[in-house]
Chains A and B, each alone.
Chain A
């Protein structure tokens, strides 16, 4: 797209409407709505059927999906559509004809992969293989749900013994996909945090205790302010991470990702706390965001990611 007047936030608004339109729909119906709005090909060139936008546009789009608690592998479709844009599978994903899940841990060679959500809904599963990755036919993979964190949308452990490879990604392509994954999952987590913060703000304004709204109490106001600070920091950090540094080199996205995920955990947990007993129930939807953020946290082992950042800093200093 060459129109310089386009702003990422405008796309986020349109994406928000599409995400809202998926409410209550099946996996296939959600696929149709999101693909119909062009969301899977946001970063794919127009010649290849996408919208031709850069990641700075994808961040608010995925952010609004997190905010509105989209229970669908939007990030996975965007990533694989981009990585296989010159392949017919990429075009099929952009069009919503095929869907994909990603197993973030394990390898094809180990015959075991884990942390794949929506693996039983998707047509393909992407798994690390060698230095790159392999796109597998999902029907050739045995999936066992691990419902401990999220019984409705569990992570799956995959038995890859009989897996059939449909396409492969080179080491370079897979590294690029993982870099983008950190940016987009970071944005999803930041959005989930923002949504939880907004819910908490609405609740604290309306909930009266001891004759005053909760929002009048300083400790509540300050907690909310910290949630806002971390939300802003996450999005600003992600946008900075995808811009080249002062010398024209690509930046690492690791700190922005780790920061966004840990900030989101803090924000969602605080939002649950601020809702009191209701926050602990299934009736209030905040738990969905907690589960989604923690699934990202687990898939990427954010704790050891932060230690890796520390090790890298030490090595470079």
Chain B
């Protein structure tokens, strides 16, 4: 598996269309067929293969677009980030295995980290040299982070950490955990929350994988028993760091995996192409019910594109994103969940004798349907997003 990483990256400030064409052409030319979920040659890529692919993308200028140059980024704007993401979405490539680092840890470190931490962590995230996991949720503190109990106690120049995290995506492969703790008790609510960058090989950390509905073990419980880290692992001061992180998170909710609607569109094309590929299945697409459902999904995908492009323009113009990220999160998760349900309804009609493309689609959309159960839960459950919209955008009072 070799990639062409010695390419001249066009300057988007000089020629935006050349930049976009570079992204489109490089991705199409370099993405291996076995990594394309719509290819009959597809097989599940290994972690190392995904890492190599993402590193090559970065070298080709297709990751870290908005990160400052001094930390390994390309110093561009959200508009270029969006342009690249449209091309990423248009191809059925694997999801990033470094997304926690790129979309969560990196932006938070940039906002609250020391200069040494930035130099230390950020370039390695983009170059796919270090993986991160997110240690926020706990057994009794999922969407309601105020109830988190994992405690950090200062002992001279170090901190002793005790507690448990859960739903920690990628914990088994992670080099670092972006760990949220508290210095006091649950009664302190949002006071005393403190973040750390904890090396996962620190003594006292135990990772117990959780088998999810799709049969994978992509997240885990993580136990912290008398884990001692130096003060240099702290990200920001107590309270300060977390409030800055909240601001970062609201932006991230609006901008992470911006490629989604374009990916959903690629998935819908894959689904239709699968049925068109097989003479026995073709007639299904002549059914008005399925035509309307496909039209409805295409309509919702275009609406989601509108929401994302509007958010990018607003942020590029300097407007705060505030709670609007909740609109995007709610819409993409429910749109895709409904789409996955519809797709499963369709592919369940595919027989073992069907075309290779159709069989590939059956496998893909069966997995997608199962995985989509998580989409209305992770990154803030739908009910929390609805509450945020009601409270912070519509300003609906909760009492007299």
Which residues of A does B touch, CB under 8 Å?
201, 204-205, 208, 212-213, 215-216, 218, 221-222, 224-226, 228-229, 232-234, 236-241, 246-247, 255-256, 258-259, 262, 303, 305-311, 313-314, 317
Contacts and interface: CB of A to CB of B under 8 A. Distances in A.
A306 B303 contact: no
A164 B296 CA distance: 41
Contact of A310 (B17, B273, B294, B307): B294
A213 B399 contact: yes
A307 B296 CA distance: 8
A212 B396 contact: no
B288 interface: yes
Interface residues of B, number: 48
Contacts of A246: 17, 20, 83, 86
Given A204-B396, A222-B390, A225-B394, A314 B302 contact: no
Interface of B: 17, 20, 83, 86, 268-269, 272-273, 276, 285, 288, 290-296, 298-307, 309-310, 324, 327, 330-331, 383, 385-387, 389-391, 393-394, 396-400
Contacts of B400: 208, 212-213
Contacts of A225: 330, 385-387, 389-390, 393-394
Given A222-B383, A255-B299, 14 more contacts: A213-B400, A216-B397, A216-B399, A228-B389, A228-B393, A229-B330, A229-B389, A232-B307, A237-B302, A238-B306, A259-B300, A309-B294, A314-B291, A317-B269
Contacts of A307: 288, 291-292, 295
The 4 closest A-B pairs by CB, nearest first: A310-B295, A236-B306, A309-B295, A310-B291
A308 B295 CA distance: 7
A45 to B, nearest CB: 26
A233 B399 CA distance: 29
A240 B306 contact: yes
Contact of B303 (A212, A213, A216, A255): A255
A212 B399 contact: yes
B104 to A, nearest CB: 24
A274 to B, nearest CB: 12
B398 A306 contact: no
30 contacts: A216-B398, A216-B399, A221-B386, A222-B386, A225-B390, A229-B331, A229-B389, A232-B324, A234-B303, A236-B306, A237-B302, A237-B307, A240-B302, A240-B305, A240-B310, A246-B17, A246-B20, A246-B83, A255-B299, A258-B299, A259-B300, A259-B302, A307-B288, A308-B295, A310-B291, A310-B294, A311-B291, A311-B295, A313-B268, A313-B295
A215 to B, nearest CB: 4
B314 to A, nearest CB: 10
Contact of A236 (B20, B273, B299, B303): B303
Contacts of A233: 303-304, 306-307, 327, 331
Contacts of B391: 221
Which has the most chain A C-beta neighbours within 10 Å: B294, B387, B400?
B294
Nearest to A238: B306
B386 A309 contact: no
A275 B166 CA distance: 43
A134 B324 CA distance: 45
B303 A201 contact: no
B20 A306 contact: no
A310 B292 CA distance: 6
B397 A303 contact: no
Which has the most chain A C-beta neighbours within 10 Å: B306, B391, B393?
B306
A246 B12 CA distance: 14
Contacts of A221: 386-387, 390-391, 396
A224 B393 CA distance: 11
Contacts of B290: 310
A229 B302 contact: no
A212 B399 CA distance: 6
Contact of B386 (A201, A208, A226, A314): A226
Contacts of B295: 258, 305-311, 313
Which has the most chain A C-beta neighbours within 10 Å: B86, B288, B310?
B310
B302 A241 contact: yes
A216 B396 CA distance: 8
Contact of A313 (B272, B304, B393, B398): B272
Contacts of A309: 294-295, 298-299
A310 B273 CA distance: 13
A242 to B, nearest CB: 11
A309 to B, nearest CB: 4
Contacts of B292: 303, 306-307, 310
